[in-house]
Structure 1
Amino acid sequence: MDYLGKHISGQFDADLAHIRTQIMVMGGLVEKQLSDAISTLLNHDTTLAEQVIKDDQKVNKLEVEIDEACVKIIAKRQPTASDLRLIMVIIKAIAELERIGDSAKDICQIAKQSFTQEQQDVLTGLDAMGHNVIQMLHDVLDAFTRMDLNEAVRVYKEDKRITQNYEMVIRQHMTFMMEDPRSIPNIIIALNCARSILRISSRCQNISELIFYFIKGQDFRHVGDDVIETLLNK
């Protein structure tokens, strides 16, 4: 995190370094939560699912601690310009990470259910989409750690591929339902999981937008991909 820079107050630097460490811990935990959640879905590992659900409390605790540390810096240091932007970006990023943790927990709640072999086969079809999102989260956390604009742009664009995965899953499952109406309950379970995975992709895209904001000093939310391309290339 070279972008932290150096300040007159050594304690300010120490406070920022501490927050950096906490973010890395939180990001690593959420990444593991998601990876384990996808694994529980594919392997029907109820023991691991229970562990992921239990560990969500650790994610929540870290969000509160980092949030409080940021508020203290604002109150004590009254940061301005890029320092203030950084603090605001951190507060928003950890909120996105907490929600990703919630989605991982939701996937595990489904994975804990008793499945027939047919239901398990349908869920296994989410393998590619799940692993693509795991990679997307890993990459956006790496981009955030380094505040790497180019990597953030690349990750942002990955949402299109995840959306394509999701649309393909929907088409396949609609075909299953038309061919065999008895499969509808199974398909509903799979689609709920697919929606949770898609939401995580959107959260990763939101974190990319926070990187854009920190580096460029402009809010890139809700402007469309073409506008983002134009603005980031200036």
Structure 2
Amino acid sequence: MDKLNLDHHISQRFNQELEEARKNLMQMGGIVEQQVRDAIKSIVDGDSELAEKVIQADKRVNKMEVKIDEECANIIARRHPAASDLRFVLAVTKSVNDLERMGDEASKIARMALELSGNEGSGPTKGFIEMRHIGEQVAKMVMEALDSFARLESASALAVLKADKDVDLEYTTAIRTLITYMMEDGRTISRVMNIVWALRSLERIGDHSRNIAEHVIYLVEGEDMRHQKIEKIEDKIQG
């Protein structure tokens, strides 16, 4: 399989188009990463103003998705890319889709934050500790997935795949704990369910981060490793 090389074309304009696509992806990723961090902070801190900011940012993310998709479509139509160039364009379009869905999930968390701030339940809501802890892990996954794409590094992408397994385990444990708590005290159901849905959105953001990492591995290694065991992926990267 050919090695990835994005600046080898005779046409300097083609090189610039590919670099522009990557730059715009990184810009969109930065917005989404901040969305995720702000969404987590808004629900843990009860900050309704920050929650509104997260929801508003989603409009910009949606516009960027359309713009980058159009850029990639134009590259395919004009340049007819092959091999590593085609893998790159496909990886960008797929990653853009994952980023847009991350933004949607961040907005859902922000809406849960607004629900909680507008609901005068008694006492602190259970699940904030889990929300903060899993949130920190997921936000790191988003950052590292984007970093692996920026550096075109499959080893760091592999670390994101491993982190996703840890997040899935902690998510399952947290949900079980919260369900038990609601069964013990029915008065808490309404408020705790908001945390449950927010945690679900975090778990999905982790999944989309994993997807981006898989796109990077495909891009760099030249082989689609989705649905493969981590050990097999690791052998491929190290071999």
TM-score range normalised by the length of the shorter chain: over 0.9
In the TM superposition, what is the alpha-carbon distance from 1:186 to its structure 2 partner?
A: 2.4
Which consecutive unaligned segments of at least 5 residues does structure 1 have? Answer: none
Partner residue of 1:137? 142
Deviations 1:112-168 (A, max 9, x none): 111335574324221101111111101111011111111011111001111122122
Partner residue of 2:204? 199
Partner residue of 2:194? 189
Is 2:24 aligned against 1:19? no
Is 2:160 aligned against 1:158? no
Partner residue of 1:169? 174
TM-score, normalised via structure 2 length: 0.92
Is 2:128 aligned against 1:124? yes
Note closer, same or farther for the CA distance 1:146–1:118 as it changes in structure 2 (3 Å cut). farther
How many equivalent residue pairs?
Answer: 233
Report % sequence identity. Answer: 38
In the TM superposition, what is the alpha-carbon distance from 1:85 to its structure 2 partner?
A: 0.6
Which consecutive unaligned segments of at least 5 residues does structure 2 have? Answer: none
Note closer, same or farther for the CA distance 1:104–1:210 as it changes in structure 2 (3 Å cut). same
What SS does the corresponding residue of 1:6 show, helix, strand or coil?
coil
Q: 1:10 aligns with which of 9, 12, 32?
A: 12
TM-score, normalised via structure 1 length: 0.94
Alignment of 1:27-42 (within 5 A): 27-42=29-44
Q: 1:71 aligns with which of 73, 83, 86?
A: 73
Partners of 1:103 and 1:62 in 2: how far apart?
17
Aligned-partner residue type, residue 208 of structure 1? A
What SS does the corresponding residue of 2:143 show, helix, strand or coil?
helix
Report the RMSD for the aligned CA atoms in angstroms. 1.7
In the TM superposition, what is the alpha-carbon distance from 1:59 to its structure 2 partner?
A: 0.5
Deviations 1:43-68 (A, max 9, x none): 11111111111111110111111111
